[in-house]
Amino acid sequence: MLSGKTILLGITGGIAAYKICELIRMYKRANAEVLVVCTPNALNFVTKLTLQNLSKNPVAVEEFDIKDFNPEHISYADRADIMVIAPATANTISKISQGICDNLLTSIACAFTKPVIIAPAMNCNMWENPIFQENLHKLHYEILEPESGYLACGYEGKGRLCSLDKIFDKTVELLTYKPLNGKKIVITSGGTIEDIDPVRYISNYSSGKMGLALADTAKNLGADVTLITTKDVSHKYNVVKVKSALDMKSAVEKEFENSDCIIMAAAVADYRVKEVYPQKMKKTSDDEITITLVKNPDILKELCDRKKTSSSAPLIVGFCAESENLLENAKEKISKKGCDFLIANDISRKDIGFSSDYNEVTILDKNGEVKKLERAYKRTIAREIFKVIYG
């Protein structure tokens, strides 16, 4: 199942480290090559000799044990097809999220550009700590959340390492499920900015997180990705930075003919200022001012219209942000726009949508089919979206 694949398995200092011995055996039975990297504290819970016998490879712990003049953290990052950190402690997760490289495992994680699976395990209070949760949500990795139950510390709650089968299955999925190989996927994200003057502008609350999750997921699924965004992004695919709706329209149009799929996840301003003031507007004695707005182009509608006359048109996927009557408004929008799929989300809810790391969406297609994806991490929602789009 995993023949020819190399798995870099990171083990950190948690009581669940002993369970990873069986995970190594599962990987080896699937014919994978397993490279084990431990934090120093991990060896308080499982021995180096045991891990070496199971993996049939030396176990790396020290950061500067350099062989053949190759920096070890770079050498390991280059050799592996995927990195799995299990159990992942709050300490290690927080270090990785902040870019701290104070041991071999965190240094490798910083240099690793391929898929990464994080399987946290810790005390339930540590899991729920808001500072830790903020650090966790900064990671654009596959997070396999811990399970609830009786914990080694005596507490009962969420913190147990998820099942080894779940870690194994996710590893197989990421290494073998590449439905987007050979596909060119264009994704827009963020809220456009319409200048009023050199100081002020009109925009919206879009964080760009959903578009970024879609771009990261598409890349992991084998696609050639272009992200057109209003946000500062530095990822391992083509990123086009834009500002206004007109900028975004121009960038998307350039990608149209060479794309297999265009996903319009950006929150594009419906209107822009008719005349942008070249200098800062000064406050006057008047209690009111009037700024004239003009309608921006409907990029999604224009793409759908263009598709009707194109011989090699891409799939067009729109997004629909609604604060009321979600399904009714979404059905009306997909009918008017003519896109292949429309993804509707409820922006009135505080636990999903703008600025949240979670989302809950309803996917409509041009044939009238409707599928709801329940609340989950945006990266999980992104993966399910591609399953729907490409079957």
141 vs 217: CA distance, rounded Å: 9
Query: Are 243 and 383 in the same domain?
Result: yes
Task: Give yes or no: residues 165 and 75 share one domain.
Answer: yes
Farthest CA pair distance, the chain: 81
Are 257 and 281 spatial neighbours (Cβ–Cβ below 8 Å)?
no
Q: For residue 70, is pLDDT > 60? A: no
- Residue finishing a domain among 159, 176, 193: 176
According to the model, what pLDDT value does residue 354 have? 80
Residue 119 lies in a domain: yes
- Domain co-membership, 202 together with 335: yes
Question: Among 176, 203, 237, which residue terminates a domain?
Answer: 176
What pLDDT is attached to residue 65? 59
The arithmetic mean of pLDDT across residues 342-357, rounded, is 85
pLDDT band at 153 (very low <50, low <70, confident <90, very high): confident
Is there a single domain that holds both residue 222 and residue 194?
Answer: yes
Give me the mean pLDDT over the 140-157 stretch: 89
For a pLDDT cut of 70, what percent of the chain falls above it?
97
| Whether residue 207 sits in one domain with residue 165 | no
| b/e code 328-349 from CB counts within 10 Å (16+ = b) | eebbebbeebbbbbbbbbbbee
Handedness of CA 138, 144, 148, 151 (dihedral sign): negative
Asked if residue 269 is part of any domain, the answer here is: yes
Per-residue pLDDT, averaged over 142-165, amounts to 91
The secondary structure of residue 13, as a DSSP letter, is S
Q: Specify the pLDDT at position 69.
A: 46
Give the CATH number for residue 233: 3.40.50.10300
Entry pTM: 0.73
pLDDT of residue 178: 84
- Would you place residue 230 in the very low, low, confident or very high pLDDT band (cuts 50, 70, 90)? very high
Nearest C-alpha neighbor of 326 from the set 297, 298, 346, 348? 346
Task: Give the whole-angstrom CA distance, residue 317 versus residue 11.
Answer: 40
Is the pLDDT confidence value at 88 over 70? yes
Q: How far from each other are the two terminal CA atoms of the chain, in whole angstroms?
A: 22
What's the CATH code of the domain at 156? Answer: 3.40.50.1950
Q: What is the pLDDT of residues 255-294, one digit of tens each?
A: 998 999 999 999 999 999 999 999 999 999 999 999 999 9
- Predicted confidence band at 76 (pLDDT cuts at 50, 70, 90)? confident
Q: What is the mean pLDDT of residues 17-46?
A: 96
109 shares a domain with 206: no
- On whether the CB atoms of residues 266 and 192 are closer than 8 A, the answer is yes
Q: How far apart are CA 233 and CA 236, in angstroms?
A: 10
Q: Domain residues for 20? A: 6-176
Residue 328 lies in a domain: yes
Does 236 have pLDDT greater than 90?
A: no
> Quick check: is 110 catalytic?
no
CB 364, CB 370: distance < 8 Å: yes
CA atoms within 13 A on the CB side of 263: 27
Tell me: do 212 and 256 sit in the same domain: yes
Q: Are residues 220 and 288 in the same domain?
A: yes
| Together in a domain, 74 and 191 | no
Task: Tell me if 154 is assigned to some domain.
Answer: yes
Residue 44 and residue 114 share a domain: yes
The structural domain count of the chain equals 2
* pLDDT of residue 68 exceeding 60: no
Indicate whether 244 and 324 sit together in one domain: yes
Q: How many CA atoms lie within 13 A of 129 on its CB side?
A: 16
User: Half-sphere exposure of residue 109, counting CA atoms within 13 Å on the CB side?
Assistant: 32
Q: Which of 153, 162, 261, 320 is the catalytic position?
A: 153
